[in-house]
């Protein structure tokens, strides 16, 4: 594996631990210790993934996250944020701003490596076309644009289809309405997060077996249940 990772974190001990555990897995890792040099490093290195602490001197992790997402060259770079256990709102905001996943401090090297690999796997899928998803008797073929619920073919609009694929790709993870909008609708001017609710309702109606598997996360978004 020759994936390159940039770590932006001001706590020396954590940086050392992250670098050691990722290098052991064959990743090549660079680190920055404040927000401004961190953002510059992400721009210059164009890494495969960014690990981003939220509380940083100079420029905080939220700002870096926003900057990365607004820059077309970096917009799809996966980001894992590091948050304190108690700061749930930080985590939510980080995900709203486009982070792909989070790890709460304190964390073990193993946990971090597992998250990094999972996020890279997930985001690799996004780049590929022609993926087939099998989920609870449902087959979704993204190349043929076909959805089958058992033997029954389900007719979905392009956005409903995109929404379903988005949920499947992020199975087991809570997606905020904004994240769903960005991923399925791009960056529209006139569409609101309410649109996501309407399309979720349509999906639940058209594929009844999915109805209870799409979990509404109060005041936040949706999650497709992971396989039990």
Instruction: Summarize as ranges the residues that interact with Ca ion (CB under 5 A).
Output: 10, 53, 55
Q: How far is the CB of 42 from Ca ion (least distance, A)?
A: 17
Residue whose token pair is 């033997």: 151
Centroid of chain to Cα 39: 19
Q: Which residue is nearest to Ca ion (CB)?
A: 55
Q: What are phi and psi of 7, to 5 degrees?
A: -110, 125
* Cβ atoms of 183 and 76 closer than 8 Å: no
Task: Name the residue nearer to Ca ion (CB basis): 10 or 197.
Answer: 10
Q: What are phi and psi of 111, to 5 degrees?
A: -65, -45
Coil, strand, or helix at residue 104?
strand
Q: How far is the CB of 15 from Ca ion (least distance, A)?
A: 10
Task: Name the residue nearer to Ca ion (CB basis): 90 or 100.
Answer: 90
Task: Name the residue nearer to Ca ion (CB basis): 10 or 25.
Answer: 10
Q: Which structure tokens are listed for 47? A: 């890494």
Q: How far is the CB of 38 from Ca ion (least distance, A)?
A: 11
Task: Name the residue nearer to Ca ion (CB basis): 84 or 168.
Answer: 84
* Cβ atoms of 138 and 66 closer than 8 Å: no
Angle, in degrees to the nearest 10, between helices 158-169 and 177-185: 120
* Cβ atoms of 1 and 48 closer than 8 Å: no
Q: How far is the CB of 33 from Ca ion (least distance, A)?
A: 9
Task: Name the residue nearer to Ca ion (CB basis): 53 or 160.
Answer: 53
Q: How far is the CB of 137 from Ca ion (least distance, A)?
A: 45
Task: Name the residue nearer to Ca ion (CB basis): 47 or 61.
Answer: 61
Give Cβ neighbours of residue 93 (< 8 Å, ≥ 6 apart): 62
Q: How far is the CB of 62 from Ca ion (least distance, A)?
A: 12
């Amino acid at each position: 594996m020759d994936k390159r990772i940039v770590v932006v974190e001001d706590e020396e001990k954590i940086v050392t631990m992250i670098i050691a555990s990722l290098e052991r897995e064959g990743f090549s890792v660079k680190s920055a210790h404040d927000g401004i040099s961190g953002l510059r490093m992400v721009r210059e290195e164009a890494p495969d993934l960014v690990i981003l602490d939220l509380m940083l001197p100079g420029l905080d992790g939220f700002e870096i996250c926003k900057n990365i997402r607004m820059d077309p060259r970096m917009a799809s770079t996966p980001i894992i944020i590091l948050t304190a256990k108690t700061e749930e709102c930080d985590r939510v905001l980080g995900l709203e701003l486009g982070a792909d996943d989070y790890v709460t401090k304190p964390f073990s090297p193993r946990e971090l490596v597992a998250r990094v690999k999972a996020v890279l796997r997930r985001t690799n899928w996004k780049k590929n076309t022609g993926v087939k998803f099998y989920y609870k008797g449902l087959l979704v073929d993204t190349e043929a644009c076909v959805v089958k619920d058992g033997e029954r073919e389900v007719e979905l609009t392009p956005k409903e289809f995109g929404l379903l694929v988005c949920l499947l790709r992020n199975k087991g993870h809570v997606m905020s309405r904004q994240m769903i909008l960005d991923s399925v609708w791009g960056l529209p001017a006139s569409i609101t997060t309410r649109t996501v609710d309407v399309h979720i309702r349509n999906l639940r109606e058209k594929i009844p077996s999915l109805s209870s598997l799409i979990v509404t996360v109060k005041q936040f978004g949706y999650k497709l249940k992971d396989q039990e």
